[in-house]
Structure 1
Amino acid sequence: MTASAEQSAPQGKRWYVVVTHVNQERMAQYQLKQQGFEVYLPMVPPPPGARVRNGIAPANRPMIPRYLFVSIDLDQERWRALFSTMGVTEVIMRGTGEAARPNPIPSKFIEEIQAREVNGLVVLKHGDRQAEAALAASLPSKYRRGDKLRYTGPTADYEMIFEEMVDGNRAAVLFKLLGRDSRQIIPLPSGT
């Protein structure tokens, strides 16, 4: 089967990744559902130790910020409507030009996330050292615990110590702020 015949072969419903604007995952989810799409936005509870600020309790948050998943049949549904949906910035694609189509992800990925849900929230087991080590090993990183990093920007110049990867592009780091160690989660430059 040629590549073009493979792309045009019927595939049935599959899961695809949609990227949203910052903090607009819920709006994009709502808009996509209004158009009749099946949407999955995995949510997690606030981090342990999250504090009430200005009288507002910490809210549940997306498990993977800026990403949600849509199940569609590319041959049956008007999938190009994804691009003009409020809150959506892009759809992860494969191919180029007219042959470009959304790139499917394995349904097993979605099933594994859904299997961890309790009352609509994905439960990530913190403190399970073996699971955390396996997750950290699976995330690509050129940094190791204890490595010194430097953040230089127009308003700051900080030396930080790398602790661990949190997800695919964010890391926990330690740095001195007002004479105290501060642990922060920061985005790392692409290519880490």
Structure 2
Amino acid sequence: MKVWFVIYCKPQKDEVAEKNLLRQGFEVYRPLISRARGGHVGGSPSIREESLFPRYLFLNVDPEIKPITPVKYTPGVVGFVTFGDRYSTVDDSVINDIKVCESEQQMDLDNSVRFREGETVYINGEGFTDIKATFCEMSSDNRVIVLLKMLGRMSTITIPSSYVSRTSAY
């Protein structure tokens, strides 16, 4: 029976460990998060993918069919996460939930990347209803910075990218 094991990696070597484990024929899952960085190149934010759980990977294997001993000798891997003499494992449902969140995060990022600096946008959500603003830039963690007129003066605010759209809700 296949089980998801938790693998601990050397600092900044999760991608190396993932590639080496894949070469050995293991099923590996390294959840990624896409982050928009402030520096704009050609009018769009720079996007960087990084591990959601730095230094950790998930390895799906049936230890009765495929030996897991080579894993701890794989370049980039420190070893299995254990509690005493028991290997740490994760249920399939948890892995599936992480994959769903990873997919939703990517959709949110795809929606926010489409805006250009200076473009007119509309804010809806959490107390905002069809407020006209000017898109400034991507912030971190799926947030955007917009410029809007508030209390008679121009202010910049940082809000979730999901609140911003190109068209009015009405």
| Runs of 5+ consecutive residues of structure 2 not aligned to the other structure | 110-124, 127-170
Q: Which has the larger radius of gyration?
A: 2
Q: Runs ≥4 in structure 1, deviation > 3 angstroms? A: 119-124
Q: 1:31 to 1:82 in 2, by over 3 A?
A: same
How many angstroms does 1:122 deviate by?
A: 8.6
Residues 126-178 of structure 1: CA distance to partner in whole angstroms, max 9, x if unpaired?
xx99xxxxxxxxxxxxxxxxxxxxxxxxxxxxxxxxxxxxxxxxxxxxxxxxx
Select 1:21's aligned residue among 5, 10, 16: 10
Partner of 1:71: 60
Q: Compute the RMSD of aligned alpha carbons.
A: 3.3
Shift of 1:43: 0.3
Residues 123 and 15 (structure 1), Cα distance of their counterparts in 2 relative to 1, 3 Å cut: farther
Alignment partner of 1:87 out of 71, 76, 79: 76
Structure 1 residue 80: Cα displacement:
0.9
Matched length: 110
Identity of aligned residues (%): 25
CA distance in 1, matches of 2:49, 2:60: 23
Distance change in 2, residues 1:119/1:105 (3 Å): closer
Higher relative contact order (CA 8 A, sep 6+): 2
More strand by share: 2
In 1, the alpha carbon distance for the partners of 2:98 and 2:107 equals: 7
Unaligned runs of 5+ in 1: 1-11, 130-192
Counterparts in 2 of 1:79 and 1:60: CA distance versus 1, 3 Å: same
User: Secondary structure in 2 aligned to 1:74?
Assistant: coil
Task: Check the 8 A contact 1:25/1:87 in 2, yes or no.
Answer: yes
